[in-house]
Each structure stands twice: as C-alpha cells, then as structure tokens.
Amino acid sequence: MGLFVAMAIAVSACANDAYAPEHTDQPGSTSASRNLAGKSITVFAASSLTAAFNEIGTKFEQETGAGVTFSFGGSSDLRAQLEQGAPADVFAPADAKQMGLAKDAAVVDSDGTIFALNRLVVIVPRENRAGVITLQDLAKPDVKIALADENVPVGNYARQFLDNASADPGYGSGYKDAVLANVVTKAANVKEVAAAVQLDEVDAGVVYKTDVTPEIAQDVTTVEIPDVLNVIAIYPIALTTNGQAQAKDAAQAFISFVLSDAGQAILMSHGFLEAQ
C-alpha cells in the first residue's frame, strides 16, 4: 500500500510524463491511510463529474476518514476562481486545455493525470416538438439549441464536433455555421445545457454522455453522435498549488483513489470511459 502511494506521488511529480495514466492492481486502500482522519480537502471538479465524484467522495470518506467538499462548475469558471485565489486542494477539469491554462497560471503543479474519458451526445426534450431526429436536423431553421460557452470544455468539444461534421460530406461545409446560428444561449456549464433541454425551453443541447442521468432520462431523448464525428473528452486531475499544506497527503490520497480500481469502477458505472 505504501508502495502504491509512493508510486502515485512519483508519477504526479513527473511533469513531463503528463499523460501517463496510472493503473494499479493493488486492492483499494487499507487501514494504513486511516491517519488521514480529521483532515478535510476541497475538490474543484467539472460539472459533468457531479454524480460520479459524489459517490467517490463518500467512498473515500468511508475508507480514509478524511472529509471531502466538492465545488462543481464550468471548468473555466473554476480555473478562474483558482487564479483569483480560491482555496482548493484538487482540480479536475473536463479538458486538458483548462488544466494547461491552470498550469500556466501556476495554480496547479503539473499537467495532471488523466483519470477518465467521455463522449459527446445530443439530447432533445421528450416532446421534441421541433422534430430533431438526426444530427442534420440541428441545422434546420428555427431549431433552438443550447451550447456551453466556447471557453467551457464541453462547449469547446461541441464546436470541435461541429468542425468534424462540417468536414463530412454527409453534413456539408455550412453545417457548423447553420447550427451555431441556432444557438440561443451560451451556458456556463454542461448542467445548464441539460437543464434547458430538460425544461423544454430549447430544442436540443450538446452534453456528455454521462450527463444523461436517471434523473433526466425520462425528460430527454438521446441522439447519438457516431464515433467518427465524436470527440473524446479527456479529464485530468492534479494537485493545486494553493491547497492546504497539512492536507496535501489527503489530497494526494484522493487523487490516488480516483485512479484506483475502486474509483475507476465508480466512474465507469456512471458512463465514463476508462482512461487506458
């Protein structure tokens, strides 16, 4: 167990080895990490991680005795808060770009470790009065679309998907512009997009596959994006530089837990793809 912890620390300390995912075949934590009891950390994580991280957090608290508080939001918003000095111990954005910006601003100590992958999906309200059946329908006139702001990871990914589609003869080069012309709001995070679709205030929205949770499943219908056009979202996780010094071990333990079998299993159960 101590070996695992040491390795995890070593890995996260290797800055140039940024995208080497960590897998351990050691069982989850043991009572050796019980010395974290009484410590408490804050984790800034992308909104799309809400359900999965809440579950992970509970498990982590049970196993280590350390407390975890989450702040979920748009990754770019969270990063901006970190830059302004918000106290957090761990940062887990939904793309490498935000992690990179965070590293440039020296609020995280590395480019982080990838712990999960995600895919995009289009959701439409159950009523679907605009009749959006295929992805091409998104370009139809008078279709109201909600996308996240382009500075938010899922907004950026969505626009990448539109680029991919516009390069495909099946959609035509004008596809992206047509779809963007239908965008009525640039949401601050992916949950806002999902809410707008769920409330049937817009006709379609681009979210992560993991955002189609049981809670909203009955209010929305999914329109799949073929793999060839889809974008793989990469989620890195790293320690912040302005975290509590005395909780650094707890923060590191959290990261390790996320990367552990147990953590990965939870992520996968929520629809994330393995970080292979």
Q: Which parts of this chain interact with another protein (CB under 8 A)?
A: 74, 76-77, 79-80, 144, 146, 149, 151-152, 183-188, 196, 199-202
Minimum CB–partner distance for residue 63 and another protein (Å): 34
Cα dihedral sign, 146-43-29-1 = positive
Query: Would you say how long the chain is, in residues?
Result: 276
Query: 33 vs 98, which CB is nearer to another protein?
Result: 98
Nearer to another protein, 61 or 83 (CB): 83
Structure tokens at 4: 């695992």
Contact 98, 76 (CB under 8 A): yes
Nearer to another protein, 68 or 80 (CB): 80
Least Cβ distance, residue 17 to another protein (angstroms): 28
- Per the CB < 8 A criterion, the answer to whether 149 and 186 are in contact is yes
Q: How far is the CB of 181 from another protein (least distance, A)?
A: 11
Q: How far is the CB of 76 from another protein (least distance, A)?
A: 4
β 183-187/145-148 pair status: parallel
Residue 106 neighbours by CB distance under 10 Å:
12
Nearer to another protein, 55 or 201 (CB): 201
Contacts of 184 (CB under 8 A, 6+ apart): 144, 145, 146, 202
273 contacts 118 by C-beta, under 8 angstroms = yes
Q: Among residues 74 and 263, whose Cβ is nearest to another protein?
A: 74
Smallest distance from another protein to CB 86, Å: 12
Nearer to another protein, 140 or 186 (CB): 186
Distance CA 129, CA 121 (A): 19
Shortest distance (Å) from residue 192 CB to another protein = 9
